Amino acid sequence: MTSTGSSAFAMTLATGAMYAVTVTQQPVGPSQTCTVANGAGTVASSNVTVSVTCTTNTYGVRGSLSGLLGTGLSLRLNGGAPQPVSGSAFTLSPSIASEQMYAVTVAQQPSNPWQTCAVTNGTGTIVDLDVTDVQVVCTTNVYTVGGTVTGLAGSGLQLTMNGATVPVTGTSFTFPAIPSGTAWAVTVTAQPTSPSQTCSVTGGTGTVTNANVTTVAVTCATNAFTVGGSITGLVGTGLTLSLNSGAGQTVNGTSFTLAPLIPSGQPYTVTVAQQPTTPSQTCTVTNGSSTVGVANVTSVIVTCTTNTYTVRGTISGLAGRGLQLSLNGGVAQAVSGASFTLTPDIVSGQMYSVSVVVQPTSPSQTCTVTNGSGLIGGANVSNVALRCVTNTYTVGGTIAGLTGAGLQLRLNGGVAQAVSGTSFTLTPSIPSGQPYTVTVAQQPTNPIQTCTVMNDTGTVGGANVTTVAVACTTNTYAVGGSITGLTGTGLQLRLNGGVAQTVSGTSFTLMPSIPSGQSYTVAIAQQPTTQLCTVTNGSGTVAGSNPVVSVTCVDAFSVGGTVTGLAGSGLTLSLNGLQTVSPLMNGSFSFLNRIVNGTGYSVSVTSSPPNQTCVVTTGSAGTVSNANVTSIVVTCVQTWSIGGNVTGLTGTGLQLSLNGGAATTISMSGSYTFPTRVLNGSTYSVVVTNQPTGQLCAMNFGSGTAMAPVNTVNVFCIATPASCKGVLPIVIKQPPCQDARGAPTSVPWPH
């Protein structure tokens, strides 16, 4: 087939024959692809129409990229829209129909870095295959870096950029070109000389883009240098130096630098404008004049030495001989007359101190120094003053045995002076060679003492008198008094807890005597037969007289009786709540202290032995009447405690009763014991008289006969079941739950 339209195969087929139409060769020039519709079937009763449809083939245009470093490269196919490409290969769109022309061009060059890309094999005619040989080759653009130079007067200036160095002589410079995108930095690698200059770079760094760099600026200035040097020996302050007769400049430390800067080749002269003080010094300059070269001057030398000065002064009141002074703790130097000068001279800025090392004698004197110390300045010291006065001495000594207050002594009949402690010093001081006498002006009290003075007279010599001795002893007093109503025998008293002393009659005196200020206590050590004695004014502190004590005696009798049935220890009886007795066995007993005749008495049991109960069965109270009381009877019987254990109790208000007695409240689970005991062999019965809130409690072994301590009455408590509301459980051996009438209910009591 050569054209579109209708055509027929030369061969015909009979009705009912099979047919199949296929493409045996596709068309070219241009290349196409044809497909058959209704191309197979069976011939019927008419001609068969087969459809063949052909479309022209299209092919892609692609190629390779080399040397691409920047971004933004785009290509154009047949003048169409720009198409961005990157990497090492590309494919353009749209596909081109067979036998059509194609043309690939650069629509936009890449940047960052800036490059120029060229196309080869970029045009042709599509045949029947994709175009794959288009090539795009990119090369990076290069640009120069340069700028301007100002102030250059010397020679030898060199600049360096990225390893490349260029000499600079004029007002501008340019470095060889470098690729776009390359970072660059311009530095000065050699400064100019003749004259010496310092050049600096402004805008000296950056990255090449898409143009030559012309903005680097190099500025040069002629150098100037400082003048300075070293300082030795400087310890003062205020040293000033002058440069080229200029204003004084304060310097310190061990080195200095003066202002202003001096241009290279100019002369300089350094002089001392003001010498240092504190301390005063003299400084000289060496190497102080020359011409500035090409570096800072550091060779000027300033040498300082400290000045020295003498120390001298005046003397007033000197009458003795042998006065010696010392300067700064040095050797003693004898001085006399009205003035003195000490050696050696003292360096300015150093401290000086004048002291007396030997005082004058004949007569004995004390010389004191005024203005004797200070700091040496810039002149001789001449204001030290020495004043001498004749000595006086105190009179004093020691005190032994003083415990009271108010002791006063008198010196040479003068005013009384209070003294205390173990030593004293009296006033006024007495001139050497004068007599002294010390006497007691007032004896001490509280306690009262008698003091005597030894070594009480003498003549003051060349030192304080410390040999006077005062000895004090405390006065003692006898303790005694009167006795009233004593008819019995055997009364004994005790003084301050000492030995018992027998007294009788109507008065007494005890031994030993008591020192003043000490306390005393008189107590009854033994009562007389059939009497009870009391002490009045029996204690106090001894003052300045014998203490008077009163003893009064009245008739009194013992109280006692008998104990029966006692089987253990621990019985305690009380008389009038003031005294106790603890009988250890059956039989008679008696309280230690007697009761005044005609006075009432009351005896009670305050504690019983374990497992017994003791009570006063006869004569528990009465009145003493002219005879000892022996009629009290205490009877003890065997009793046992009743108790057990409570478990499960969480509510409050549980109360138990023993033998119908008062209720005992139980507050928590654990063991309990009734305060009431039961007689040996008697029966006991424990019941719950009040249930705890929100619980029901029952017990086992709640009754029995007490033959020993009972601790088996156990109580079990549980939360109140709904079926037992208002029910009082009685004992665990009965049905699990009973009401108040004994009717059973169902509550799961623990067993």
Rounded-to-integer distance, Cα 467 and Cα 450, Å: 20
- Three-state secondary structure of 108-163: ECCECCCEEEEEECCEEECCCCCEEEEEEEEEECEEEEEEEEECCCCECCEEEECC
Helices and strands in the chain: count of H runs, count of E runs: 0, 72
For residue 43, what are the CA distances in angstroms to 48, 52, 232, 510?
A: 7, 18, 134, 173
Q: Which amino acid, one-letter code, is at 229?
A: G
Q: Is 101 left (phi over 0), alpha (psi -120 to 50) or beta?
A: beta
Three-state DSSP at 427 gives strand
Contacts of residue 5, defined as CB under 8 A and 6 or more positions apart, other chains included, come to none
Contacts of residue 2, defined as CB under 8 A and 6 or more positions apart, other chains included, come to none
- How many angstroms from the chain centroid is the CA of residue 293? 63
Question: What are phi and psi for residue 723, nearest 5 degrees?
Answer: -75, -10
Q: CB of 504 within 8 A of CB of 432? A: no
Tokens 């090492």 identify what position?
Answer: 88
Rounded-to-integer distance, Cα 161 and Cα 184, Å: 6
For 616-631, letters b (16+ CB in 10 Å) and e give beebbeeebeeeebee
Q: CB of 248 within 8 A of CB of 240? A: yes
Q: Is 299 left (phi over 0), alpha (psi -120 to 50) or beta?
A: alpha
- How is residue 368 written in tokens? 């004191």
Q: CB of 218 within 8 A of CB of 200? A: yes
Which residues does residue 595 pair with via DSSP β-bridges, in sequence order? 557
Rounded-to-integer distance, Cα 262 and Cα 245, Å: 13
Residues in the chain: 751
Which residues does residue 144 pair with via DSSP β-bridges, in sequence order? none
Tokens 């002076």 identify what position?
Answer: 417
Q: CB of 191 within 8 A of CB of 198? A: yes
- Read out DSSP for 625-637? -SS-EEEEEEEEE
Three-state DSSP at 614 gives strand
Rounded-to-integer distance, Cα 492 and Cα 355, Å: 77
Three-state DSSP at 573 gives strand
Mean pLDDT by 10 residues, the chain (751 residues): 79 86 86 88 87 90 95 95 95 92 96 95 91 95 96 92 95 95 96 88 94 95 93 94 96 95 89 93 95 90 94 93 94 95 92 95 88 92 94 94 95 96 95 90 93 94 92 94 93 95 95 92 92 94 91 92 92 93 92 90 93 91 92 94 94 94 93 92 94 94 92 94 54 38 40 36
Q: CB of 324 within 8 A of CB of 355? A: no
Q: What is the DSSP letter of 46?
A: S
Q: CB of 604 within 8 A of CB of 614? A: no
**577: nearest Cα among 556, 613, 601:** 601
Tokens 């019965």 identify what position?
Answer: 685
Which residues of 321-464 form beta strands (DSSP E)?
324-327, 333-334, 339-347, 351-358, 365-370, 373-375, 381-390, 392-400, 408-411, 416-418, 423-431, 435-442, 449-454, 457-459
Pairing mode of beta strands 559-564, 629-640 = parallel
- How is residue 209 written in tokens? 């883009």
Longest dimension (CA), the chain: 189
Alpha carbons within 13 angstroms on the beta-carbon side of residue 489 total 0
CA angle, residues 462, 468, 470, in degrees to nearest 5 = 165
Which residues does residue 240 pair with via DSSP β-bridges, in sequence order? 250, 274
Tell me how far apart the terminal alpha carbons of the chain are, to the nearest angstrom: 118
Tell me the Cα Rg of the chain: 69
Rounded-to-integer distance, Cα 130 and Cα 60, Å: 5
What is the reported pLDDT for 433? 74
Q: Is the peptide bond before 692 cis (omega within 30 degrees of 0)?
A: no
